[in-house]
Chain A
Amino acid sequence: MDLKGRKVILHDMCLRDGMHAKRQQITIDQMVAIATGLDEAGVPMIEVTHGDGLDGSSINYGFGLHTDEEYLSAVIPKLKNAKVSCLLVPGIGTVDQLKMAADLGISCVRVATHCTEADCGEQHIKMARNLNLDTVGFLMMAHMEAPEVILEQAQKFVSYGATCVYVTDSAGYMLPDDVRARVGLLRANLAPEIEIGFHAHNNLSVSVANSLAAVEAGANRIDGSAAGLGAGAGNTPLEAFAAVTERCGIETGVDLFKLMDVAEEIVKPIMDQPVRVDRDALTLGYAGTYSTFLLHAQRFSKLHGIPVRDLLVECGRRRTVAGQEDMIESIALDMVRERETA
Chain B
Amino acid sequence: MKINCAMIGSGNIGTDLMAKLQRSDVLNPVWMVGIDPESDGLAKAKAAGLKTTSDGVDGLIPHMKEDNIQIVFDATSAYVHKENSDKVQAQDAVMIDLTPAAIGPFCVPPVNLQEHLGAQEMNVNMVTCGGQATIPMVYAVSRVQDVVYGEIVATVASKSAGPGTRKNIDEFTRTTAGAIEKVGGARKGKAIIILNPAEPPLMMRDTIHCLTETVPEEDKIRASVEEMIVEVQKYVPGYRLLHKIVFDGNRVSIFVEVEGLGDYLPKYAGNLDIMTAAASRTAEMIGEEIISGRFVPSAALATA
Known contacts A90-B169, A333-B243; is-contact A59 B255 (Cβ 8 Å):
no
Interface CB pairs A-B, < 8 A, 25: A58-B192, A59-B211, A59-B251, A59-B253, A60-B151, A60-B153, A60-B192, A60-B207, A60-B209, A90-B169, A91-B192, A91-B193, A92-B173, A94-B170, A94-B174, A114-B197, A116-B158, A119-B163, A319-B198, A321-B194, A324-B153, A324-B155, A329-B246, A329-B253, A337-B243
Q: Which residue of A lies closest to B154 (CB)?
A: A91
> A81 near B: Cβ within 8 Å?
no
Interface assignment of B23: CB less than 8 Å from any CB of chain A? no
CB contacts between A and B, total, < 8 Å: 90
Interface status of B80 (Cβ within 8 A of chain A) = no
Q: Which 3 A-B pairs have the closest CB atoms?
A: A326-B207, A94-B170, A319-B198
B153, A320: Cβ atoms closer than 8 Å: no
Could you tell me the distance in whole angstroms from the C-beta of B64 to the nearest C-beta in chain A?
32
8 A Cβ contacts from B195-251 to A: 195-198, 205, 207, 209, 211, 242-244, 246, 248, 251
Q: Does B149 contact A (CB under 8 A)?
A: yes
| Number of A residues, CB within 8 Å of B | 31
Q: A59-B151, A333-B243 are in contact. Are A323 and B194 (CB under 8 A)?
A: yes
CB distance from B203 to the nearest CB of A (A): 12
- Using Cβ atoms and an 8 Å threshold, which residues of chain B touch A117? 158, 166, 195, 197
Answer whether A123 and B251 are a contact pair too, CB < 8 Å, given A324-B155, A333-B246. no
Q: Indicate whether A12 reaches chain B with its CB closer than 8 angstroms.
A: no
Asked if B169 contacts A326 (CB within 8 A), the reply is no
Is the Cβ of B194 less than 8 Å from the Cβ of A91? yes
Contact of B248 (CB < 8 Å), options: A119, A123, A303: A303
Residues of A close to B211: CB separation below 8 A:
59
Complex Cα–Cα for A90 and B193 (A): 8
Per the bound structure, the CA–CA distance linking A321 and B193 in Å amounts to: 12
- Asked if A330 CB lies within 8 Å of chain B CBs, one says yes
Say yes or no: is B2 at the interface (Cβ < 8 Å to chain A): no
Q: Is A120 an interface residue (CB 8 A)?
A: yes
> When the two chains form the complex, which single residue of B149, B163, B195, B243 contacts A330, counting CB atoms closer than 8 Å?
B243
Which residues of A have CB within 8 Å of B166?
Answer: 117, 119-120, 122
Q: Which residues of A contact B251 (CB under 8 A)?
A: 59
Query: How long is the Cα–Cα vector from A96 to B175 in the complex, in angstroms?
Result: 13
Chain A residues within an 8 Å CB radius of B195: 91, 114, 117, 120
Q: What is the 8 Å Cβ interface bit string for chain A, positions 172-198, against chain B (1 contact, 0 not)?
A: 000000000000000000000000000
Determine whether B167 belongs to the interface, using a CB cutoff of 8 Å to chain A: yes
B contact residues, total (Cβ < 8 Å): 33
Interface residues of B in 149-203 (CB under 8 A from A): 149, 151, 153, 155, 158, 163, 166-167, 169-170, 172-174, 190, 192-198
Residue numbers in A under 8 Å from B173 (CB-CB): 91-92, 94
Chain B's nearest CB lies how many Å from the CB of A113? 8
Contacting residues, chain A, for B244 (C-beta < 8 A)? 333
B79 to chain A, nearest CB (A): 10
- What is the CA–CA distance of A114 and B197 in the complex, to the nearest angstrom? 9
Q: Note all chain B residues with C-beta closer than 8 A to A94.
A: 170, 173-174
CB-based nearest A residue for B243: A333
Residues of A within 8 A of B174 (CB): 94, 96
Closest B residue to A117 by CB, please name it: B195
Residues of A within 8 A of B172 (CB): 91
Q: Are A90 and B170 in contact (CB under 8 A)?
A: yes
> Given A90-B170, A91-B173, A116-B158, does the pair A321, B209 have CB atoms closer than 8 Å?
no
Q: Which of B153, B193, B194, B195 gathers most chain A CB within 10 Å?
A: B194
Structural contact, B170 and A323, CB atoms closer than 8 A: no
Bound CA span A326–B170, Å: 21
CB neighbours of A59 from chain B (8 A):
149, 151, 209, 211, 251, 253
Q: Which residue of A lies closest to B151 (CB)?
A: A59
User: Complex: how many Å from CA A60 to CA B154?
Assistant: 12
Any chain B CB within 8 A of the CB of A95? yes
| Closest CB in chain A relative to B180 CB, distance in Å | 12
User: Whole-angstrom distance between the alpha carbons of A92 and B163 in the complex?
Assistant: 18
* A122 and B243 within 8 A (CB): no
- Contact among A58, A303, A318, A323 for B190, CB-based, below 8 A: A58
Query: Roughly how many angstroms separate A253 CA and B5 CA in the complex, as a whole number?
Result: 66
Q: If the complex has contacts A95-B170, A324-B155, A329-B253, are A114 and B248 also in contact, measured as CB distance less than 8 A? A: no
Is the CB–CB distance between A58 and B194 below 8 Å?
no
Cβ-defined partner of A318 (8 Å) among B151, B198, B242, B243 = B198
A292-323 contacts to B, CB under 8 A, are 303, 318-321, 323
Residue of B nearest to A149 (CB): B197
Given contacts A123-B167, A319-B198, contact A333 B209 (CB under 8 A): no
The complex places the Cα of A20 from the Cα of B153 at a distance, in Å, of: 19
Q: A90-B169, A91-B172, A123-B167 are in contact. List 18 more A-B contacts (CB 8 A).
A: A59-B251, A60-B192, A91-B169, A123-B170, A124-B170, A319-B196, A321-B194, A321-B196, A321-B197, A323-B192, A324-B155, A326-B155, A326-B209, A330-B205, A330-B242, A330-B243, A333-B255, A337-B243
**Residue numbers in A under 8 Å from B207 (CB-CB):** 60, 326, 329-330
CB of B210 to closest CB in A, whole Å:
9
Distance in angstroms from B295 CB to nearest chain A CB is 36
Shortest CB-to-CB span from A117 to chain B, Å, is: 5
